[in-house]
A and B are shown apart, each in its own frame.
Chain A
Amino acid sequence: MQGGTSVRLYGLEWPKESARISRVFDLLVAAILFLAVSGAFHLHYMLTAGDWDMWIDWKDRQWWVTLTPIMAITFPAALQYVFWTKFRLPIAATFAVVCLLFGQWINRYFGFHLWSYFPMSEVIPALLIPGALVLDVALLLTGNFLFTAMSGAFAFALLFYPTNWFWLAPYRLPVEVMGQLVSVGDYISYAFTRTALPEYIRLIERGTLRTFGGHSAIIASFFSAFVSILMYLAWWHIGMLLARVVTTPNALKHFMGLTDKDEPAEAAQKAIDGTSLQGRSVAAE
């Protein structure tokens, strides 16, 4: 392409026009990814672990600690496959979590606070960024998804409770209300009634571990870390599956008025979409 003078972009000399095309394309892709990941990850998270994330009294020492990292490591793992193997970008987990938190904070304010009139202190989402940073650093340092699963995914879950403890601590303080001992978090949620989510619905701590005090959160964290390793491995491969460029011949081609001369040359098609497999083509991973 004739582009006049060249420019330096990403450490390379580019013709001016190619650089412009590349920049515009990158910006559009970044915007699409942000919106798509924010929407899809938020939908996944709100419908699998959302209740624990939405309410201050649901943030208990057992279920919340167990479930949240297991459900939250999914999209970071899938995106790490794409970002790392295709672009060598070690930012996927942090990117995914920031997208999620963006959607959550917008909604907690405009939905839960401004529309349903809950105080923000009742509906604060959990913090996930520190665990995501460690997950990204694990992949950057090891460059291997198996080691990242064993170290990064493990740390992602183990760090979840300490990450959230500092802002959650005030809501764990005991308070006496009408002769009953409850936590501040519980009391806020008793005061702002959820008609369709009665208190008996909440999954509370069960079993005998709570008898021995606060270490049920640590036990739950380790169990969550173990399952998070498995989830990371599964979702790395789901990312691999969804990032594959697979095509199949268009059966409507002739109906659309296209002829065989409209076909891109077969060799060019293979070079673009990968190896042709009985009419289908699959790009190299």
Chain B
Amino acid sequence: MSITITHSAKSAAEDRTQPLGNFKLAAGVTLAVLALMVFWRIFQQVYAWSAGLDSTEPAFDAAWMTLLKVELSVIPLLWVVTWAYLWFTRDRNLGALKPREELRRYFNLVLFNFVYAFCVWFATSFFAEQDASWHQVVVRDTSFTPSHIVLFYGTMPLYVLFGVGSFLYAMTRLPKFATQISIPFVLAVVGPFLILPNLGYNEWGHAFFLMEEVFSYPLHWGFVVMGWSVLALGGLLIQIAMHMLEVIGRLSQEDQASVATQR
């Protein structure tokens, strides 16, 4: 089942012509994420007012509960496939990793983090405040509202895919992240993920004691604290920069040794 990555014995000159990271894949995934976000927003525009006001109507079931079921089946499937791929294709010979390949993997990690941040922005900014614009207008009669079905069961599980994915990528392909767990990285991934369990408290509060929709009420402050943890991405980026500087130093030494041998 497991696949072992081997390090090809390319010459230093060949290596330098390779791209710094897998930019094409990152661009493709970013565009796919953007397309999905646009789809969700258009779906809301078309079906929120026409079929999303009364959760007991058949039209609500046909449009919104169908979307929810698709999200709850497809995104966890993506979790399993992506995370399993990253785990089973892990590098089992990290001690033999060449500096240039290590540098390339650091760039891939930064690109992974970019896609993660892209998803986080749509969830915590774009669709989160839009949730206010809906709930302060339409009185909720279910936890699965047109804004929640996209925000909590669409965009948030999607950023969990990339957050945990980037963590696994680093842990399975970069020696320093494999031997030492980065606490800022854990915070930057686990904090936003914990917004999902906090959703249970939010729905419980709205179902039992909070009828109106004031966004600043203490019921929502759990989300705030989880959002703060995104700041730990700063600590992670500093850590990655420090690691990359060290790799570049080794790369430089390797190149100098190669020049000396040729002479």
Contact = CB atoms under 8 A, between A and B. Distances in A.
Given A44-B224, A51-B216, A196-B137, A249 B129 contact: no
A39 B125 contact: yes
Say which size band chain B's interface belongs to: 35 or more
B118 A35 contact: yes
A21 B181 contact: no
25 contacts: A1-B248, A1-B255, A2-B258, A28-B110, A32-B113, A33-B237, A36-B120, A36-B121, A47-B215, A50-B215, A104-B129, A114-B45, A115-B130, A116-B137, A195-B139, A196-B140, A198-B212, A201-B214, A242-B235, A248-B183, A249-B181, A253-B178, A268-B246, A269-B180, A272-B243
Given A46-B128, A253-B178, A115 B133 contact: yes
Instruction: Give the interface centre of B16, B180, B213 by most chain A CB atoms within 10 Å.
Output: B180
A115 B211 CA distance: 22
Interface stretch (A128-136, A157-165, A172-180, A258-266): A258-266
Interface string A37-70: 0111011101111111010000000000000000
Interface of A: 1-2, 17-18, 20-21, 24-25, 28-29, 31-33, 35-36, 38-40, 42-44, 46-52, 54, 75, 78-79, 82, 86, 103-104, 106-107, 110-112, 114-116, 118, 193-198, 201, 238-239, 242-250, 253, 256-259, 261-264, 268-269, 271-273, 281, 283
A197 B139 CA distance: 9
A262 B224 CA distance: 39
B118 to A, nearest CB: 6
B interface secondary structure, majority: helix
B140 A36 contact: no
Contacts of B107: 24-25, 28
Contact of B132 (A46, A248, A271, A273): A46
Contacts of A194: 136-137
A interface secondary structure, majority: helix
B67 interface: no
Contacts of B128: 42-43, 46
Interface of B: 12, 16, 20, 41, 44-45, 48, 90, 92-95, 103, 107, 110-111, 113-114, 117-118, 120-121, 123-126, 128-130, 132-140, 171-172, 175-176, 178-184, 187, 211-216, 220-221, 223-224, 227-235, 237-239, 241-244, 246, 248, 251-252, 255, 258-259
